[in-house]
Amino acid sequence: MNSIITAGITPAMIPGIRKAIEICDEYAVANGFIYIDEVERLCRSNDWKDVSKHELAVIHHHKSNICTRIADHLRALIGEGDAA
């Protein structure tokens, strides 16, 4: 991984990047809960048989996943966390 300086990140940007990481993590958790709730709703009804009704759950699952990946990428950029 390149250093922070060669990646074009200045020390003044780090607090903003940390805030972005926090927001991504919160958004990932929120979408994860929506995904779980939607899957539970599908399982309680007969809608689980119809794949076309799974769209909302799939969308929120992917939103949760991509937010986690973005947060990991930002952590790696500033050299924090497991992604560093």
* DSSP percent split of the chain into helix, strand, coil, nearest 5: 80, 0, 20
Which pLDDT band holds residue 48 (cuts at 50, 70, 90)?
confident
Mean per-residue pLDDT, 28-43:
95
Q: Tell me how many degrees the CA angle 75-25-68 measures, rounded to the nearest 5.
A: 65
Which pLDDT band holds residue 84 (cuts at 50, 70, 90)?
very low
Query: Is 90 exceeded by the pLDDT of residue 69?
Result: yes
Which pLDDT band holds residue 33 (cuts at 50, 70, 90)?
very high
When the pLDDT of each residue in the chain is averaged and rounded to a whole number, the result is 87
Query: Is 90 exceeded by the pLDDT of residue 1?
Result: no
Both tokens assigned to 19: 């805030």
pLDDT of residue 27: 98
- Reduced to 3 states, what is the DSSP secondary structure of residue 73? helix
Domain boundaries defined on the chain = 12-78
pLDDT of residue 9: 82
